[in-house]
Amino acid sequence: EAEVAQSPRYKITEKSQAVAFWCDPISGHATLYWYRQILGQGPELLVQFQDESVVDDSQLPKDRFSAERLKGVDSTLKIQPAELGDSAMYLCASSLELAGTGELFFGEGSRLTVL
Amino acid sequence: KQEVTQIPAALSVPEGENLVLNCSFTDSAIYNLQWFRQDPGKGLTSLLLIQSSQREQTSGRLNASLDKSSGRSTLYIAASQPGDSATYLCAPQTGANNLFFGTGTRLTVIP
């Protein structure tokens, strides 16, 4: 069964360092999402791509976060510099249908701990 | 902004019981609603997707209903098993192309 792949599964870093997360969506899925989930809360959208274009990055802290999906397939989410409050699970999801209409499939997530 | 509330926040039941998880949302202009399961430290697993035109959707022992006009959905789990222990999240999808999540219901099924 096709899955959304994410790496690394776990990342421990010190504040002010740079971190990067990678996501490979299910083949053929045009829509890709990055969510952040703080412990005990539901996920919140950071950025949404349709192919290589950003559809929504209104909740992305652009002073330190960046995301790209250069060829419209896999995607990278970067944080520089990391802060203590960035400790969370970073989840990638993809969807086959046009944004807003289809079922989302999530990866296993990347858990970030900032010391 | 869509606000999603899930009640109860936590639930503990003996194995074999039928149970209902509740979800309410403030903006009824949704395309669909998805129910997910999340095990500790893991990602989200999609359980059921209900389109806004549907009233319910079934998969095995799971049945989800949607009352769009009143902003409510329920997830019914029949004959619960210890393997059903997890956090269950509901997420309505709005025209803004985004899923809004509640904080979930943490379910424990006691053998």
Q: What is the pLDDT of residues A67-104, one digit of tens each?
A: 999 888 999 999 999 999 999 999 999 998 765 567 88
Please tell me the predicted confidence (pLDDT) of residue A103: 86
Taking 90 as the threshold, does the pLDDT of residue A35 lie above it? Answer: yes
Does the beta-carbon distance from B89 to A101 stay under 8 Å? no
Q: Could you report how far apart the first and last alpha carbons of chain A are, in Å?
A: 36
Please tell me the predicted confidence (pLDDT) of residue B97: 62
Please tell me the predicted confidence (pLDDT) of residue A101: 64
Instruction: Name which of A102, A80, A84, A83 is nearest A93 in CA terms.
Output: A102
Please tell me the predicted confidence (pLDDT) of residue A70: 85
Q: Which residues of chain A are at the B interface, by a Cβ-Cβ cutoff of 8 Å?
A: 4, 6, 40-45, 48, 55-56, 89, 91, 93, 99-101, 103-109, 111
Split at pLDDT 50, 70, 90, the class of B99 is confident
Please tell me the predicted confidence (pLDDT) of residue A111: 97
Average pLDDT of A58-66? 94
Q: Cβ neighbours of residue B53 under 8 Å, at least 6 residues apart?
A: none
Q: How far is CA A94 from CA B18, B55, B88, B89, in A?
A: 32, 25, 20, 17
Greater confidence (B75 vs B96) lies with B75
Chain B residues close to A94, C-beta within 8 Å: none
Q: Report the distance separating Cα A53 and Cα B15, nearest Å.
A: 47
Average pLDDT of B76-86? 97
How does pLDDT run across B5-55, given as a tens digit for each residue? 999 999 999 999 999 999 999 998 898 999 999 999 999 999 999 998 999
Greater confidence (B98 vs A66) lies with A66
Average pLDDT of A54-59? 91
pLDDT above 90: percentage of residues in chain A: 83
Q: Is B68 helix (H, G, I), strand (E, B) or coil?
A: helix
Split at pLDDT 50, 70, 90, the class of B70 is very high
How high does pLDDT run on average in chain A?
Answer: 93
Q: Report the distance separating Cα A87 and Cα A2, nearest Å.
A: 28
Chain B residues close to A43, C-beta within 8 Å: 44, 89, 99, 101
Does the beta-carbon distance from B99 to A104 stay under 8 Å? yes
Does the beta-carbon distance from A106 to B36 stay under 8 Å? yes
Q: In 10 A of CB B45, how many CB atoms?
A: 14
Average pLDDT of B67-82? 96
